[in-house]
Amino acid sequence: MARQRFFKGMAIGAVVGGFVTLLDKDTRNDVWSDVKSAGKRSRFYVQHPSEVMNEVRDFYESSTFQLSSKANSVLAVLTQIQETLDKLSQLEANKGSVESVYSSDTVYDKNSVH
């Protein structure tokens, strides 16, 4: 019961707030212009339903192309990161083997020729 009153109060407040904002002449003109424009678009789409389908299809194709393109870009970046990590791992492994060679007990003489 309290929930119904809450939503009913919100709806009434929104309607009253809407009417109060319409007291301003500029706002009234903007709203009226937007309503006229929406009406014209609605009539056009009712009279030309194939246009709606074409626009929806074009939007879908454009969106899927952009999504696919962005996904490919992300995959390329991830591949580069993986390659860099692999190279770093190899460098770490090589560093360990080089350190083990120099840390052995053998003393090298700079003047001796091998």
Q: What is the mean pLDDT of residues 52-70?
A: 95
pLDDT reading at 18 higher than 80? yes
What the block records as the tokens of 64 is: 């899927």
Instruction: For residue 55, give the nearest of 37, 38, 41 by alpha carbon.
Output: 41
pLDDT of amino acid 96:
67
Give me the helices (H) in 24-48, please.
25-47
The CA-to-CA distance between both ends of the chain, in Å, stands at 97
Report whether pLDDT(69) > 70. Answer: yes
87 contact partners, CB below 8 Å, separation of at least 6: none
| Residue in the block written with tokens 């003489």 | 109
Query: For residue 109, what pLDDT is reported?
Result: 55
103 secondary structure, DSSP code:
T
List CB contacts of 28: < 8 A, sequence separation 6 or more: 22
Residue 53 confidence (pLDDT) above 70 = yes
Q: Are 22 and 31 in contact (CB under 8 A)?
A: yes
pTM for the whole structure: 0.42
Query: For residue 4, what pLDDT is reported?
Result: 87
For residue 39 the two structure tokens come to 């009406």
Identity of residue 72: N
Instruction: Grade residue 114 by pLDDT with cuts at 50, 70 and 90.
Output: low
Which amino acid is it at 42? S
